[in-house]
A and B are shown apart, each in its own frame.
Chain A
Amino acid sequence: MNRERYLLQAKSNENAAHSVENAYPDWTVTMCFYSALHWVEYYASQHGDDIKSQFQEKSPHDSRRGYVRKLAKKLDNKRLEKLYNQLEDASQQARYLERIKYTSAIEHFKNHQSEVNASFEKLQEIKDILGIS
């Protein structure tokens, strides 16, 4: 169950992202990142990697980003590192209004549907790279 909980949470977050896409596109973007995060956790547990112990002095988010970087290098896939960073970046934009001026995050993403669509595409690409679609 320990491993499966990541799988369930990843799928649940992605489903939730779809369910609020029209009403709350800002949260859709955030949920896509949190789905990717749990897919990474699931991949790590599948392969016997303990992310926390690999980066003991780092925050959980830094640890996962560090793990993704190491994994991308191991898989020789720069795209993985870039996609994960982009999703995390977008979720910070949605939650903290980083680089969003003069409007709310919800308005921003309602007016930038392509960025919302891109979040789903990036999530799918991460899953494809990890081979756990």
Chain B
Amino acid sequence: MNLKSNSTKTNSVLSFKSNEITWSHRASSDLNLVKPDKSTNSNSVLEIKRLVKELIQLTREVRRVRAVATSFPDIHWIDFQIQLKDTDTDLLDETWERIQDLIIDYEWKLIDESAEEWYFRPQIVDGFYPLKDRVVADSSEEQQMKTSTLKTWSCFYPNLIVL
């Protein structure tokens, strides 16, 4: 089968299109990420996603970061839930300070750029509870999409590896 290549991601649904077939596969994820709409400044959501990405890259001690809008559908109040790889060990004070500084830096930058009030709060959490429609950004999203893509393609084409 000649599989040409368009794999796209739309609304948590991965769509694969080829000359012969088109099918979709719902990502195996509990995520239901907030999508920017007319009332939401999409640049702000992008900034929040950028912050989540920076937080996950800040230290190897962090396993996952999730930005949760605590007053959804208003997304100006965000808890940044941070899960550590080793939940039995505390972060070094210095690392925790850097995380807080980074979050406040982004918060203030967003306030200045959007002329809106934003309220960010960092939280170390032991785990994540399922949430609907409140997650603005999740560091595991990209990884889950990659995994899901690989599983889907591998399922139909065992020799096909997507990198």
Give bound CA distance, A101 to B70, whole Å.
26
From A58, A70, A73, residue with most partner B Cβ within 10 Å: A73
Q: How many chain-A residues does the 8 Å CB contact rule pick out?
A: 16
Number of B interface residues in the complex (CB < 8 A): 21
Is the Cβ of B124 less than 8 Å from the Cβ of A82? no
| Pair B121/A65 contact, Cβ less than 8 Å | yes
Q: Which of A62, A65, A78, A89 contacts B104 (CB 8 A)?
A: A78
Question: Of B87, B104, B119, which contacts A82 at CB under 8 A?
Answer: B104
Q: Is the CB of A57 within 8 A of B100?
A: no
B71 within 8 A of A: yes
> 1/0 per position for A55-76, CB-CB distance to B under 8 A?
0011000100110011001000
Using a CB–CB distance below 8 Å, which chain A residues touch chain B? 57-58, 62, 65-66, 69-70, 73, 78, 81-82, 85-86, 89, 99, 101
Binding site for A on B (CB under 8 A): 70-71, 77, 87-88, 90, 97, 100-101, 104-105, 107-108, 111, 117, 119, 121-124, 126
